[in-house]
Structure formats: structure tokens, C-alpha cells
Amino acid sequence: MQEENTNYTPPVYPADKPIIEESKKTIPTFVGITTIVIVAVILFGGVFAWQYFATKTQNKTAGLPVQRQQATEGWKTYTNNTYNYQISYGSDATIEEIGSDSVRIQYQNGHIEICSTSVGGCGVPEFSEELKAVTKAASKEIIIEGKRYNASGFISNNKEEGIEALYLNLPNNMLVYLVVNIAPNATVERKLLETLSTFKFTK
């Protein structure tokens, strides 16, 4: 009697080979492509965001002098040799030296006065108590000689005596105040601020 071979292994034909190895190759390839796409999107988005904010910041800082130059083109220039400064003003303004320490640039509905506090030459305007009772705080940012300053004061919406007064301290003991009559008046306020933005020391 012939004994049976219990160690017999049936042959494996090509069609019956497992496909696990191919699956293992496909999965890493897919993950790699996905990772590359995600990294590319992040890099592109970062570069775009950097360019956007850099351009926006540049426009804020570089655009202001250009706008000021266009607005003040053709203006006359006043030079004060006592306190070594100069300022430009529009053709619709008049300029007056008040004493030896103060200068007033007068527009139709507003004016700027520049004076030195070192000799007490500033004639700060006085306002009625009724006007002060209906005022609120006001401030405007202005760039002078490349530096940012904050002119602060008050504005009144009183229909009979509306007024805006802003005060600004500059180096060398110089004081500037802007007064807008019949406030609020954005046109006059802008003209005064444009005028003040041309101020610069000559020494």
C-alpha cells in the first residue's frame, strides 16, 4: 500500500499571484503626489499674500508724498529766517506776519498760525463758553518732513458758531494751530492740512 504525501503543495500559476505588492506601490505614489500639491498651494498662497501686503504698505507710505506734491504744485513759498522754516500756500490764501514771532496763513474759511513758544509769541484763539460746551475731541494725522504727527484739538457742530481747532507741537519750540470756520468743513480742513504738510525747517 502506497503512503500519501501530506507535504504536497499545489502549484501557483501567474493568474493566482497576490496583488498586495502593487497596492503597496500605488498608495505611496498617491500620498507623495498629494503632499507635493499641498506644499505647492501653501507656497503659492504665501507668496501671493506677501506681495499683496507689501504692495498695500508701500502704497500707504509712498503714495502720500506724491499726492501732496500734486495738490501743492505751483504754490507760493514763505520763508521765515528768524526761526528757519518755510511753508507753501495756495493762490487763494494770504499770508501775514503778526509781530515778529507769529505768521498767519488765511484762507476763506480757515487759517493756520505758526509761532514760537520760546518767546511767548503765540496768540492762542479764545472761544466762547457756549461753543466749548458743544465740542468733542478731534485729531488728525499729518506727515511733515517724512515724520508722522498727530494734531489734536476739538470740533463743534454748533450751527451758529461751528468751528474746528487743532494744535500741533513741532521741534524747535514751534507751535501750529489750525482753525476751520463753519465746521465741519472737510474741504477747508483738507486744504489746511495740505498746507501744513509742506512745512519744513531750513536749518
- The C-alpha cell that represents 83 in the structure block: 526761526
pLDDT band at 7 (very low <50, low <70, confident <90, very high): low
Q: pLDDT digits over 168-194, tens only? A: 999 988 999 888 887 678 889 999 999
Closest by CA to 179, choosing from 96, 129, 108, 115, is 108
Q: pLDDT digits over 62-121, tens only? A: 444 545 556 778 899 999 998 999 999 999 999 999 877 889 999 999 999 998 887 655
Closest by CA to 94, choosing from 195, 197, 201, is 195
How many angstroms separate the CA atoms of 91 and 82, rounded?
24
- The C-alpha cell that represents 194 in the structure block: 495740505
**Please, what is the average pLDDT of the chain?**
75
Q: Can you give the pLDDT at residue 75? A: 94
Q: Can you give the pLDDT at residue 125? A: 60
Closest by CA to 80, choosing from 67, 93, 99, 64, is 99
Contact 178, 193 (CB under 8 A): yes
Q: Residue 25: is its pLDDT beyond 70?
A: no
Q: Can you give the pLDDT at residue 60? A: 43
Please state, for a pLDDT cut of 70, what percent of the chain lies above it.
Answer: 59
Question: One-letter amino acid identity for 58?
Answer: Q
Structural domain boundaries of the chain? 1-71, 76-201
Q: Domain spanning 76-201: which CATH class is it, in words?
A: alpha beta
How many angstroms separate the CA atoms of 114 and 96, rounded?
11
Q: Once rounded to an integer, what is the mean pLDDT over residues 14-36?
A: 59
Nearby residues of 180 by Cβ (< 8 Å), 6 or more positions away? 109, 110, 163, 164, 165, 188, 189, 192
Q: pLDDT digits over 143-155, tens only? A: 999 899 998 888 8
Provide the Cα torsion 82, 197, 103, 165; round to 10°.
Answer: -140
Q: Can you give the pLDDT at residue 58? A: 46
Segment among 51-55, 100-104, 125-129, 138-142 with least mean pLDDT: 51-55
